[in-house]
Amino acid sequence: MNRDYSNYQRKVISRFYENRESHDEQRLGELVTNLYLATSEKQRDRLWKQAGEAMERLGVPASRLTHVVNARDAAILAEVVKDIQSGKIAKKK
């Protein structure tokens, strides 16, 4: 499917991808809160899937990503967010 975007649309798309890292970092922090507040198992499953995808895009090492997702503990995910924000986990370029 060939799409022709206007110059404005191309700039918006470009800015989205330029700032994707900061959006993912913020989203991961929001997911911690949402996991604490989640009431159903179905909701938690969806949130953990989103957290895994965000951590992968941010360049969290695979072993740590697997550990966090398998543990399904929001406190451990919060530690990952803290490590990303402090620079202990190098972000993907």
Q: Is pLDDT above 80 for 33?
A: yes
Mean pLDDT of 57-79: 95
The model's confidence at residue 88, banded by pLDDT at 50, 70 and 90, is confident
The amino acid that residue 86 corresponds to is S
Q: Is pLDDT above 90 for 36?
A: yes
pTM, 2 dp: 0.84
Q: Domain spans of the chain?
A: 20-86
Q: Is pLDDT above 90 for 14?
A: yes
CA distances from 75 to 35, 54, 59, 68, 81 (A): 10, 16, 19, 9, 10
